[in-house]
Each structure stands twice: as structure tokens, then as C-alpha cells.
Amino acid sequence: MESRSCHIAAEVKNFDAEANFSPTALSLMDRFAQFAVHAARSALQDSGLIWSEEASLRTGVSIGSGYGGAESYDASYRALFANKASRVHPLTIPRLMHHSGAGHITMDLHLKGPSLSISTACASSTHAIGEAFRTIQADAADVMFAGGADAPITFGVLKCWEGLRVLASAGKSPAEACRPFSLDREGMVIGEGSAVLVLEEYEHARSRGARIYGEVAGYGASSDAAHITQPTVDGPARAMSQALKEARVSPDQVDYINAHGTGTKLNDVAETKAIHEVFGAGAAALSISSTKSMHGHLMGASGAVELLITLLGMQNRVVPPTANYHGPDPECDLDYTPNQARQRTIRVALSNSFAFGGSNAVLAVKSL
Amino acid sequence: MLLAEVEEKVIAAIRKNKKDAPVPIEVDTTFEQLKMASLDVICTVFELEETFNIAIPDDAAMNMRSVRDVVNGVALLVGVPGTDTSVESSN
């Protein structure tokens, strides 16, 4: 890519679409939908759920995506504008629509309950999981396949992000480009992928002997009502407080926060201040990390990947690190678990996602 | 271009877009026999437009019922010698 500075992206390598889908299925699926279905299939396998017509009516899907079929948009626009084509492929619309990810999951797994697609930029999948949690609370489903998928690594999308000047440059070591909370941070690295979790009504899961990774105990959602890109401290703080309140835990019971931690100058300072506001003097005792330092920012899919990492950390009693931490920023003065994972029992954790548009979503999970 | 060549290319286009065709694709096969869904038809139409560099009008695309309908329509549009243009004028 031609550019003043060389930006990089965190691609999913070696994804063999042909091995996972028939040619007919692939003709209808953008890369993000392929990721979504692939993750949902793995979630189903891991869950041990057994399909029945009756159960399928009470099983739904909720998928967050910031971009939907970005590659399909890009390819069709390139054909029209650059190659001066007079027509685009007839399956472009079914491929590019945001809801194709959730829709393909319902078809692939034969799930007949509610299906939702949520697009709240970088908070999409955290909202999608939160709304799936609400769907189960409202008794509209027993099980929800919830998560996110995005595949935004296209020439068009990257050039748009480049214009905003928030991307980290590759520098001497591309793997160290994303340095959340570090004094020398330069911005974010766009990634791609999907994570899908199985949310299940507690007694439903217990009665079938499901392996439970943790309990989704609270969900906070708030708006900054301030600026389209510049985060506030108040909005994220309210989302964290709401999640804690619903989970009926006090701040001192929280051991870990998987931070939004994009690695931009603004986010990391605002998020740190928000954590101070919610946790007060107890903030110093928290283990915090931004795993985006390792997987990049999967846009709408980030929150789901991060909740998954949080639950695995809970299960394995390990706090994942913030990689590429080179030194403290005076304005980012908490324990970000620099560079090394740490052993710690995680009783309660928060997973934060804050989006452009001033939309904030936080999930509180408890160990069982 | 000869009619035989149009037939061959039309059948190839349908085959490409209807991989699970339940019967062999021949000139006299109907779309009903092939179980062509609407998406199969529009993908085939797109393929034909690209292959022959033609524009197939929406009403013609929606009214195709057999491989022969497609062959005749394409032959008209590409101007195969001997194609009965009265079909066009009678519409």
C-alpha cells in the first residue's frame, strides 16, 4: 500500500474457506460471514448441545459486526469505479448485508429462535452478547449463539482508517505496532476474525450438565452524547457501574478488566480515568490488560474475542498480558499486566468495549 | 457467431450456476426440470451478459423458462445469422 508511513493489519492466515464450505455456499458468503459460521460451528461443538426441532425454536443468534461484508462492498465498487464495469455480481447484496453473518449461522446450525445483528462500531459484539443475555432474561430463548465477526482488511477500509490518523505504523517490528497504555503507543492495528459464545439459561445449562466457563452476570450500556470519535470518561464509567450493579458485585470483588485498550492516545487515557472513577482507590489492585496488543482490533468482533479470552483466563486462573508495553504513561497509571501473563484467581471480570459514536458496552462475568 | 456456439456457451453458463442440476442440461431442458431458483436464474443471466457482452432486459430475464428460450434470446442479442427476428418484433 502506498502511504507516507507503512501501516499493517492483523490478518487471519491459513483460513481455508474451501475446506469449510461448498462452492455454492461460498458464492453467497462474504469473508466475515465465513468467519461467523466457522466460529458458531466450533461453539456448537464445544457446547455439547444436541439439536432437536423443539430446542431449535428456543435457540437464537446475536452477532455484532462493524462492517458487514466489507470485501463485497470493496469488490463491487472496484468493479464499477476502477474497472468501469457496467454491472456487479448478482449475489453482491446477499453477501454484503450486515445480517448475512447471523442469517448464515441460523441456516447452517438450523436455529429457529430470534436472530439479531448489531452494529455499534467497535462495541458491536459486546452489545450483541449483552442483548443475547437480555433475550434469555426475557425468556425469549433458552440458548443464544452470541458474538461477532468482521473482515475489514480491504484496501478501501484501510485507506479510510488511515485518513483518521489513528493507525499504528509497522515501525521496525510490526508485531510490536500495537502498544496499549504504553508511553510510546502510536495507535491501533486493525484485525479480523470472529468469536461466538454459547449463552444459556442457567438451569437449562445445569440440567444438561454443560461445561460452564462463567456466568454473564451484568451488562452495562451507555452513550456519551458528546462526540462522534472523542471518548468521554463519564460514558464508559456509567457502563461499567451499570454492569457491576446488575451483577450485584462491589468494585472490590473485581479482579480483572479486559480493557477496550485500542492503543490510541485518547482511548487509553479516557479508559484509565473511567476505571479510576468507578473503582476509586481500589483501581490500583485491579489486573487490567488490553489483549488487542496481541490480536489487533477486530472492530465489531473484538468484544467477543475479548470476552472469550477473559473467560479462559478465569478458567485457567491467568490474567493475560498487555504485550508491547514499553513504559508507563503518567496518564495511564494502573496495572496493565505488562508483557507477562500473571497467575491470579479471577472471581469477577469486566470486558469493556467503547465505540465511535460514543456508545459503550460492558459485560460483567463471574466464575462459578 | 454460430447458433451451436451460443448453445454451448449457454449450457456452460447454466452448468456453472446450477451445480446441483437434477437432470442433464440440454437445449430442450426446462427450468422447471432443472429446479432453477430465482437466484440461479439471475446468476446465469449475469454470466451470459459477461460472456457475450450483452445486456439482457429484466423482462426477458424473468420470462426465460427453458434452455432454448435462453439460447434464442442470446442469439437475437448477439445477432446470430438466421435468427428469427420476428420474435422480437412480435413482442
The sign one gets for the Cα dihedral A292, A309, A232, A324 is negative
Q: For residues A310 and A259, give the distance between their C-alpha atoms in angstroms, rounded to a whole number.
A: 10
Reference A356, options A300, A307, A272; nearest CA is A300
For chain B, which residues lie within 8 Å of any Cβ of chain A, measuring from their own Cβ?
19-20, 39, 42-43, 45-46, 49-50, 55
pLDDT at B87 over 70: no
Q: To 5 degrees, how large is the angle CA A69–CA A87–CA B58?
A: 110
Of B21, B5, B18, B17, the residue nearest B46 (C-alpha): B17
| Shortest CA distance from A89: residue in chain B | B46
SS3 A332: strand
**What is residue A172's predicted lDDT score, i.e. its pLDDT?**
83
Q: End-to-end alpha-carbon separation of chain A, Å?
A: 48
Please report the ipTM that was assigned to this predicted complex: 0.79
User: DSSP letter string over chain B?
Assistant: --HHHHHHHHHHHHHHH-TT-SS---TT-BHHHHT--HHHHHHHHHHHHHHHT----HHHHHT--BHHHHHHHHHHHHT-TT--THHHHH-
From chain A, which residues contact B within 8 Å (Cβ)? 23-24, 27, 86-87, 89-91, 94
How many CB atoms sit inside 10 A of residue A355's CB? 26
pLDDT in tens, B44-70: 999 999 999 999 999 999 899 999 999
Q: From the list A24, A90, A94, which residue is nearest B19 (CB)?
A: A24
CA A115 to chain CA centroid, Å, is: 18
B46 vs A23, A24, A87: nearest CB? A87
Pairwise CB contact (< 8 Å): A23 & B19:
yes
pLDDT in tens, A315-338: 999 999 999 999 999 999 999 999
- CA of A33 vs chain B CAs: smallest distance (Å): 19
Pairwise CA distance, residues A265 & A279, whole Å: 22
Q: How confident is the model at residue B91 (pLDDT cuts 50, 70, 90)?
A: very low
For residues A196 and A162, what is the distance between their CA atoms, to the nearest angstrom? 29
pLDDT tops 50 at residue B88: no
Q: Mean of the per-residue pLDDT values for chain B?
A: 90
- Given this model, what pLDDT does residue A4 score? 54
Output DSSP code: residue A81: I
Q: CA-nearest residue of chain A to B20?
A: A24
Which residues from A are below 8 Å from B45, CB to CB?
Answer: 90
> What residue type is assigned to position A348 of the chain?
V
Question: Beta partners for A61?
Answer: A115, A145
Give the pLDDT score at A362: 98
Chain A neighbors of B43, CB-CB under 8 A: 27, 89-91
Query: A77-114: string of b/e by CB count within 10 Å (b at 16+)?
Result: eebeeeeeeeebbbbbebbbbbbbbbbbbbebbebebb
Burial of A313 per CB tally in 10 Å (0-12, 13-18, 19+): buried
Chain B nearest-CA residue for A24? B19
Please tell me the predicted confidence (pLDDT) of residue B2: 92
Measure B21 CA to nearest chain A CA, in Å.
12
Radius of gyration of chain B (CA): 12
The H-assigned helical ranges of chain A are: 17-20, 23-26, 31-47, 53-57, 70-77, 92-96, 100-109, 124-137, 155-164, 202-207, 234-247, 265-279, 292-295, 302-316
Confidence of residue B20 (pLDDT cuts 50, 70, 90): confident
Catalytic residues of A: 122, 260, 297
With beta carbons less than 8 A apart as the criterion, state whether A114 and A134 touch.
no
Tell me whether strands A143-150 and A115-118 are parallel, antiparallel or unpaired.
unpaired
Can you read off the three cell numbers belonging to residue A305? Answer: 474475542
Looking at residue B83, what is its pLDDT? 73
Chain A nearest CA to B48, separation (Å): 12
B19 chain-A contacts, CB cut-off 8 A: 23-24
Determine the Cα–Cα distance for residues A72 and A82; give it in Å rounded to an integer: 15
Residue whose entry in the numeric block shows the C-alpha cell 452513550: A223
Cα(A227)–Cα(A131) distance, integer angstroms: 24
What residues of A are in contact with residue B20 (Cβ under 8 Å)? 24
Q: In chain A, whose CA is at the least distance from the CA of B53?
A: A86
Q: Could A91 and B39 be called an inter-chain contact, meaning their C-beta atoms sit closer than 8 Å? A: yes
Report the residue of chain B nearest A85, measured CA to CA.
B50
Confidence at residue A2, expressed as pLDDT on a 0 to 100 scale: 47
Nearest to residue A292, comparing CAs of A146, A188, A138, A160?
A188
- Min Cα distance B42 → chain A (Å) is 7
Residues of B in contact with A91 (CB under 8 A): 39, 43
pLDDT band for position B19 (50/70/90)?
Answer: confident
CB contact under 8 A, B46 and A90: yes
For residue B85, pLDDT beyond 80? no
Of B20, B46, B55, the CB nearest to A89: B46
CB contact under 8 A, B55 and A86: yes
CA distance A89 to chain B (A): 7
Cell of A174: 510490526
Q: Angle A189-A192-A195 (CA atoms, 0-180°, nearest 5)?
A: 125
Inter-chain touch A87–B49, beta carbons under 8 Å: yes
CB contact under 8 Å between A90 and B43, yes or no, is: yes
First to last CA, chain B: 24
- Which residue stretches of chain A have pLDDT < 70? 1-5
